[in-house]
Chains A and B, each alone.
Chain A
Amino acid sequence: MRHLDVFPVPREWLSESDIALSETIENWAEKEVIQKRLSLRESYDSLLLPAMKSLFCDVGLQKIVVSEDGEYDKAAYPITAVLACEHTAMADTGISALLSNLLVFEYLILWSRDCGCKIPDELLKILEKEKPVICSLVLPMYGRKGQKPQKRLNGLCYQVEIQTENSGFFVTGSGVRPQVSGHDASVYLVLAGDNNGEPVLLVVPREARGVLPGEPLKSTGLAASRNADVDFNDVEIGEEYIVARGDEYLSHLQNLYYATSAAAALGAVLACFDIHREWGNTRVIKGKRNIFKENPLVASLMGTIASRIASARFLVYGMGKMIADLLHGKLPAASASFFISAATAHVFEIATTCVDNMMEHMASAGYATEWNLERYWRDIKTLESYVLPGTVLNMRAASHSYGVKNL
């Protein structure tokens, strides 16, 4: 497992299969991404899509829950998920962001088995195909004038509504902005509001009539995620596509999404650490054959960066462990959700600060595509802006810790 000696996590939290998976992903990263990216840059068709296929289908990360005959240990899943996202991001943060969405989808399948919910067979079958499944989460966001804010969503608005008409279910939403890959999604995992504003978690297949993805948006980073606004024009879905209703699912989905997204940000910073460390070993400062890292001012900032990365890694795996404990009933759900959202915000703050500082050390080289640092810098910022918009997390933290009730 990469950097376990430098930035440790409690070994007992990791299974042997986790360690094996980390090595498999490291091999994939080297062969499918790192060796090719100097020439292929951020090409979606030539580099990123084939790499995704290799990771999701050949390594099998989209089959974690379908290949175990329903016997997969749900409590082992969160740690495996954060490890997978962290190691994937060391190669490509965008692919890791897509993996994060996919793992949330798979987690939902695991969850549904316990609750007696039934995921449609056709959705399970697409996970077994030799084609990468791109799952695109659709979450609440800021609204437009006239849209009703939801108190349970801390004032955000549903982007999508679901209506019941004549025993059918119709999904509507205009200019909906998913978390990733709106343009290429195989399935949309949507948190919608029903007639009463209650949350409904549902799955909308890309092929459903009335689903209209727009052209890919130009974005700062995450090249593997060709995001686009999507219209859901009275998309009719069967009842079996409604996975869950109520707040409980909402927090489980959110917990894993936050933890895996934070893991992706952490993986990106660890990749930057490798680049920065090499830079510090090979450059001179003040022209006197002084190795860059041996300068006290440089070393001081390097020490700060390393300390921050160490704490971020502990937080990320701590989130995985906490979700697992939550499943065992060892923790109150509200406490776990608070910790996970707070830790996610902290990890992103660390990630953005660390990569900023590394770029400052590397100066123009950090800014040039050739050194690859700048792509992680763009990726982390993009991921942060999607995962943690605005000030909502602060309100949640205040609600939990200070008992704020009306925000």
Chain B
Amino acid sequence: MRTLDDFSRPVEYLSPLDKYLGMIVRDWAEKHVIPYRRSFDEDWQEHELIEPAFKRLMGELGFQRILFPEDLGGWGLGHSDYLGTGAFRILEEVARADSGMAVAFGVIFWPLLMICVEPHVNRRLCEEFAPMFCGTSEPVFAANAMTEPQGGADIENLEVLKGSTIQTTARLEGDEWVINGHKLWPTNSGGVARLFGVVCTTNPGSTDPNDFAFIFVPADTPGVTQSPPYQKAGMAADKNGDIWLENVRVPSWYRAHGPGDDLKYFKEVISFGNMGSVAFVCGVMLNVYEILYDYCSNTYFRGKPLKENDDVAGVLADIASSLQVIRLTGYQLARMLDRPDLYGDRWSNEIVAKGRAIKYFACDRALEELGKAVKLMGACGSDRVCDVEKHWRDLKIVQLWMGGKQLCQMEVARWFFDCETL
């Protein structure tokens, strides 16, 4: 009998720890998430069901520590050659159980990437924040505060707008940054995160890369307020809300790197966001494959199992083919992030554009296939008892975030066709 593990991966460049990390997360998913996930939608505000599973994965098993250096209590993945492929496997396994949990978990590392990853480790900030994540068995979340009300994805449109639309300001007063602004939609907002990475400008309206600032703000800093989470179509495990920053003061060294480098390394965050998105897609599709395998073997049409009908088999083949291609492509993207010596800097426009291309291809294709799966299963497809509809709902926002499809298209066209005015 075939299983999800029969979908190919490039085994010649997987992490030596891949097998063990995968087993640990899969075991966690089977015991702590999959039996409960059907009720997550009703738990979107309180997280009474979701929180214990996070506690197990992040706090007790320790996955929230993976980026920090070993001497600070972390697992040292930030200076590993397998950061991309290792993270891909972990995120894929979490998303197989619940892509909302995968997003909330994965986004912890978004702001931390700025300071924990070679070649741009900020040792002082690692020492400052390591105890928050590594010194506890409780789950601790972080968030990247990017999007703003007036322009949505314009913040992420770095190459053209160069931060000129950012309205959140950072003003240096003595040895402190004073931050004012309003952010929307960060994953792990809505009262969850203990640490924010805030995208700011030191000179509103400027296109000078030196004026782009990425500053860490602990959530309990005076002047930080958060709204309750928004209600959404799915992704209950991922809370999103408003963050208001009013005369928020943090030490000047809470800025990730400084003029020029903040913007440069922030593009690396986008690259990892692209890779993580593809990992979420893979995890979801792997579980949909498992569900379809069972359903189409045990449901009968024309007197034989559904999967034994040629026309149905054609649809199943489409789904399997897409998964096979997306998984291989996703791991290849992860490999490209692991080997900048071969493929270029992770923050380069080339890697960002190629990541965008793979991300939006994977999302479009996966949503198309999930739509077919829901339709193929008839009434069972849209009932929560089969979980396919949950994956279909959850996955949609993976396609929409980080600037959505249109921004992906622009960045891809801009790089591959040398467009100059998009």
The answer on a CB contact under 8 Å between A287 and B401 is no
Establish whether residues B379 and A390, one from each chain, have CB atoms under 8 Å apart when the complex forms. no
Chain B neighbourhood of A298, CB < 8 A: 406
- Cross-interface CB contact of A363 among B371, B389, B400, cutoff 8 Å: B400
- In the bound complex, how far is the Cα of B233 from the Cα of A218, in angstroms? 14
Cα distance, A359 to B381, chains bound together (Å) = 21
A238-294 CB contacts (< 8 Å) to partner B: 283-287
- Checking A142, A144, A218, A366 against B400 with a beta-carbon cut-off of 8 angstroms, the contacting residue is A366
**In-complex Cβ contact of B300 among A147, A177, A285 (8 A):** A147
- Residues A370 and B378 in contact, CB atoms below 8 Å apart: no
Task: State whether the Cβ of B232 lies closer than 8 Å to any Cβ in chain A.
Answer: yes
B126 interfacial contact with A, CB 8 Å: no
Query: Once bound together, how far apart are the Cα atoms of A382 and B390, in whole Å?
Result: 12
Please name all residues of chain A whose beta carbon is closer than 8 Å to the beta carbon of B152 when the two chains form the complex: 283, 363-365
- Complex contacts, A359 vs chain B, CB 8 Å: 396, 400
Q: Is B342 an interface residue (CB 8 A)?
A: no
Give CA–CA (A26, B135) in the complex, Å: 60
Q: Which of B231, B374, B406 contacts A368 (CB 8 A)?
A: B231
Q: Is the Cβ of A217 less than 8 Å from the Cβ of B374?
A: no
- Main SS at interface, chain A: mixed
Would you list which residues of chain B between 340 and 386 have a CB under 8 Å from chain A?
367, 371, 374-379, 381-385
Asked if A297 and B301 sit within 8 Å, CB to CB, the answer is no
Instruction: Please count how many residues in chain B sit with their CB below 8 Å of the partner chain's CB atoms.
Output: 59
Does A385 lie within 8 Å of B300, measured CB to CB?
no
Q: B2 at the A/B interface (Cβ < 8 Å)?
A: no
Count: A-B pairs, CB below 8 Å: 159
**Stretch touching chain B among A58-66, A195-203, A373-381:** A373-381
Contact B161 A370 (CB under 8 A): no
A391 to B301, CA, bound (A): 10
Q: Which of A218, A388, A395 contacts B375 (CB 8 A)?
A: A388
Task: Give chain B nearest CB distance to A391 CB in angstroms.
Answer: 4
Q: Which residues of A contact B165 (CB under 8 A)?
A: 287
Q: How far is the CA of A177 from the CA of B299 in the complex (A)?
A: 14
Contact of A364 among B185, B367, B393 (CB under 8 A): B185
CB-nearest residue of chain B relative to A149? B303
Determine the chain B residues whose CB is within 8 A of the CB of A335 once the complex forms. none
Residues of B within 8 A of A364 (CB): 147, 152, 184-185, 240, 397, 400-401
B positions within 8 Å CB-CB of A: 38, 41, 147, 150-154, 157, 160-161, 164-165, 184-185, 230-234, 240, 298-303, 306, 309, 311-312, 315, 367, 371, 374-379, 381-385, 389, 392-393, 396-397, 399-401, 403-406, 409-410
Can you sample 5 A-B contacts with CB below 8 Å?
A: A218-B38, A364-B401, A367-B400, A378-B393, A381-B374
